[in-house]
A and B are shown apart, each in its own frame.
Chain A
Amino acid sequence: MTHAVHRAGRHGRRPGQPWPLQRPPGRGRPPGGHRVVVRLLLVLAFGLGLAAFSPGVAHAETAGEQLSGTVQTSRSGPIEDVQIEVAAADGTEIESVETDEDGRWTVELPGPGEYTVTLDEGDLPDGVELSNTNTRTVTVDEGRRQAVIIGLEDGSRGAGGGGVRAVQLLVDGIRFGLLIAMAAVGLSLIFGTTGLTNFAHGELVTIGAVAAWYINVSGGVNLIVATVLAMVVGAAVGALNELALWRPLRRRGTGLIAALVVSIGLSLLLRYLIQVVYGGRSSPYQGFQGGRAVDYGIFTMTNADLVSVIISVVVLVLVALMLQRTKIGKAMRAVSDNRDLAASSGIDVNRVILVVWMMGGALAALGGVLLGLSDQVQWDMGFRLLLLMFAGVTLGGLGTAYGALVGSLIVGVFVQMSTLVIPNDVKYVGGLLLLIVILVIRPQGILGSRARIG
């Protein structure tokens, strides 16, 4: 179904959500094939102001209140047949349901108010425990469909003490840093070659992850094949970005600040489009969720994580070799270093930029899949990663490819290691704080040059 992307390209429209190449009939997982496309087109049509309002006779619908949730952990995947009991504030039971095969449950409520949700501990499989209590009290506003999260632990966070935990976090940090690096190389090279601070780069990550999810879960394709296809989609979206938007804008002489705000507009558009199409849920890939942690003596690692590290290292080494040895790689560094000089020595700058975009898109997509593998696929995963990518790229030196590698690795390790002293749910804050500290101490970054920052 790539024609959706191509068609959008011909009309010079914004790059939309990429589509899996071939999708065998869906297996009842929402949202299915055609509907998604139609839905996307509908949203797009509306976005372009084509919708017409026809006055009708029906009255406005009042949506009923609802509670819903998903019982799952990253290792066990969705957990089926867990009993969930919903009671009103005064203790009267509203309904008692069991989670379905996707771990999901939904309870219709009689009205807004305070409700208590209780999870039956005995239904949880071995190895999965509650992180706090098994009840949660929520206040539901009128017409709201509220999600309830009951925290579960699956032991994937190293429970060992002292030094061993530090080693575990270091390994996790390296995995995470390599992942950031992979997504950030494109960001840095795009900045280097075009001067654009691309705030929509996080969406390339999400697009990759979501595309692979549709191919893998809805299409039932092996995850490795799905990843390769997602990288193709990522490269196509990157190319589309450049050809349909940024090259024409450069030709118009759009300023860098204007381009930066345009990239934010693109980021908002894509991010919320993905949310409409994919939904606000987070779901794992199929086939890799059951991986058990393997003990390596001082640290443990699931096979999926190990594969992730190996893939990242191999890909990053290949990228480095390409930059160092091949003609196009040298041309990239040349354009990044001095665009005018590169152009006057006979380098086709526009072609180099197109290759940078395609490479950046493919790498971001791969990063997205790996992130989805460890943290599940979510609609805003790319945006959250974007800020850490910025931190990594700034730390390494904006515009340098190797700087992005080094900086991202440091940020990844820092973010994971910081959980030694700060709680897990604020670990990203540490990474962002690091960014500010870098700006104070050495704004040009580790490998950057002074001339770029002023």
Chain B
Amino acid sequence: MADLLNALAVAGKSALGFQAIFFALLAIGINVQFGYAGLLNFGQIAFAMLGGFGIAISVSKWGIPFWAGVLVGLAAAVVLALLLGLPTLRLRADYLAIATIATAEGLRLLFRSVSATPVTNGTRGLSGFNGDFIALAPWNTSQRYSILGTSWSGGELWVAAIGWLLVILGSLLVFLLMRSPWGRVLKSIREDEDAVRSLGKNVYVYKMQALVLGGVFGALGGMVYAVGTGSAVPDQYQNANTFLAYAALILGGAARVLGPVIGAMILLFILQFADTGLRLLISNGVIPEDLLSSTDVAQIRFILVGVGLMLLLIFRPQGIFGDRREVMLDAR
């Protein structure tokens, strides 16, 4: 019983920790793009990588202040969104999907390559860039704090606090934007692009704005992740993470302001619980080690997400809170 409680506590911690914030911010960005505007950005992780490495490279390599690094990361994300949007936003939805997923994989390969080592430190990545940020914490960061049976370091708490503040502000921004005329145009683009065009709106510009805004959220997510782990390694930004964020969004409900946030928390809770639970079963001998070794457990989360995505899309595309009529399912 104590083990079960412990697994629940660990899962609860991860549902509130910086990883949940990471996926929540990624999913908020995808919500603006996919949920409201109907754009299929399958390369959200690339924006996160630019955000994370924006800070890491600025601080560790160029030696400029942390906050300037934040600006560098955001600017890089905006540039990437413009570069991706320019050729693909006039085309059908799946072209953007292919271009973004290709870019995300390409950027990761580029960042981890030998030739990029002077800047990104290759596969080993960069670390030691979050000192300025952690130092701002109003409490002692070298001490550990115990909250509801889980142990947090002061730094973790500080990252989580600022991260959730970002999530709240982001959700508020999305809420206000989607009530504004701009948001209504965006939603009508999702429903019927030609109708919006016939009303004299420049659909292309609106889509581009949505892509940039979503990308900025992605970059913020990547920054929280990089600061939370204290390192930026290209292989942390695997393509599959984009789809974890999609799973979070669709689980919570697309085109709902709080859908991505709640989805991310639930998803992280389930994944961490499965992870801890499986490891526990293996170490207890319930599952023999040669059937499923503890190194394999890390892959289980992606298998779960794969199954979850399929089942959700087939049986409940609106997720927990969504409205089926509002979920963009058909390509034009």
Residue ranges of A at the interface with B (Cβ–Cβ < 8 Å): 14, 31, 35, 38-39, 42-43, 46-48, 51, 53-61, 63, 139, 145, 195, 197, 199, 249, 252, 254-262, 264-273, 275-276, 383-384, 387, 390-391, 394, 422-423, 425-426, 428-429, 432-433, 435-436, 439-440, 443, 452-454
Contacts and interface: CB of A to CB of B under 8 A. Distances in A.
A257 B278 contact: no
B207 to A, nearest CB: 14
B131 interface: no
Given A43-B292, A260-B97, A390-B102, A454 B91 contact: yes
A265 B305 contact: yes
- Tell me which of A14, A31, A54 has the highest count of chain B C-beta atoms within 10 A of its own C-beta: A54
B189 interface: no
Interface in B69-128: 84, 86-88, 90-95, 97-99, 101-103, 105-107, 109-110, 113-115, 124
B1 A14 contact: no
B59 interface: no
Contact of B95 (A256, A428, A453): A453
Interface majority SS (helix, strand, loop, mixed), chain B: helix
Contact of B281 (A47, A53, A254, A255): A53
A425 B116 CA distance: 10
Contact of A443 (B87, B243, B281, B317): B87
A257 B93 contact: yes
Interface of B: 1-4, 7, 40, 42, 84, 86-88, 90-95, 97-99, 101-103, 105-107, 109-110, 113-115, 124, 239-240, 243, 246, 250, 274, 277-287, 290-292, 294-296, 299-300, 302-310, 313-314, 317, 328-331
A58 B314 contact: no
Given A249-B314, A423-B114, A433-B106, A39 B291 contact: yes
A421 to B, nearest CB: 12
A261 B305 CA distance: 12
B106 A46 contact: no
Nearest to A39: B291
A446 B54 CA distance: 38
A175 to B, nearest CB: 21
Contacts of A249: 314
Nearest to A279: B296
Contacts of B279: 60-61
Nearest to A256: B331
B36 to A, nearest CB: 14
9 contacts: A46-B278, A56-B3, A255-B330, A256-B94, A269-B310, A271-B302, A429-B107, A435-B102, A443-B90
A42 B292 contact: yes
Interface majority SS (helix, strand, loop, mixed), chain A: helix
Nearest to A393: B98
Given A390-B102, A436-B102, 8 more contacts: A53-B280, A58-B284, A197-B98, A254-B329, A268-B303, A422-B115, A432-B102, A453-B95
Contacts of B328: 257
Nearest to B273: A53
A71 to B, nearest CB: 19
Contacts of B310: 14, 262, 265-266, 269
A47 B330 CA distance: 28
B291 A42 contact: yes
Contacts of B84: 436
A254 B105 contact: no
Contacts of A443: 87, 90-91, 95
A199 B303 CA distance: 15
A383 B280 CA distance: 31
A3 to B, nearest CB: 20
A432 B329 contact: no
A36 B268 CA distance: 28
Contacts of A38: 291
B214 to A, nearest CB: 16
A54 B309 contact: no
